[in-house]
Amino acid sequence: MTLMKFNHSPMFSGLVDNFLGKELGGLMDSNSGFSSPAVNIKENKDGFMLEIAAPGFQKDQFKLSLDHNVLTVSAENKQETEKTEGKYTRREFSYGSFRRSFTLPETIQAEKIDAEYQYGVLMVNLPKKDEAKVKAVKEISVR
């Protein structure tokens, strides 16, 4: 028996990445085969906003937890359908889940973190502590 080394073609690899990454909305990681939602992190003067693209879930399927400044967001979706027609039965299972963790800065007010799920996007509001907010420029008059 002869063992042959498999050379990955850059053209084929790019094709797979483009198909799995772009056609599926960026949810599929071509290296692991597991799904991971796309995340936007926005900062404004009052805090941060995490936008997690997670279509197909219901708001009660999300779990958010905070432990030692690490915010973990996870969701799990299980579905089972069965259809019987005459002598034939068709059974389908569907399962989807993800888990993402984010290390938060010390400037976040942990007790005021809240989340909202709308139109397939989970939005997590991370407000800053008052001392961390950018203060307006103060004009000082000369006497």
Look at residue 44 and tell me whether its pLDDT is greater than 80.
yes
pLDDT category of residue 39 using cuts at 50, 70 and 90: very high
The Cα 105–Cα 50 span in angstroms is 14
Q: For position 35, what pLDDT does the model report? A: 65
Phi/psi class of residue 74: alpha, beta or left (left: φ > 0; alpha: ψ in -120 to 50)?
A: beta
52 C-beta neighbours (distance < 10 Å), count = 23
**Tokens standing for 60?**
């009660």
What domains can be seen in the chain, in order of their start residue? 36-130 (2.60.40.790)
Give the DSSP H/E element, type plus range, for residue 99: strand 88-103
In 3-state terms, the chain is what percent helix, strand and coil (to 5)? 15, 45, 35
Q: Residue 76: name the closest of 91, 95, 90, 89 by CA.
A: 95
| pLDDT, average across residues 49-63 | 92
Q: For position 77, what pLDDT does the model report? A: 85
The answer to whether residues 129 and 109 touch, using CB atoms and an 8 Å cutoff, is yes
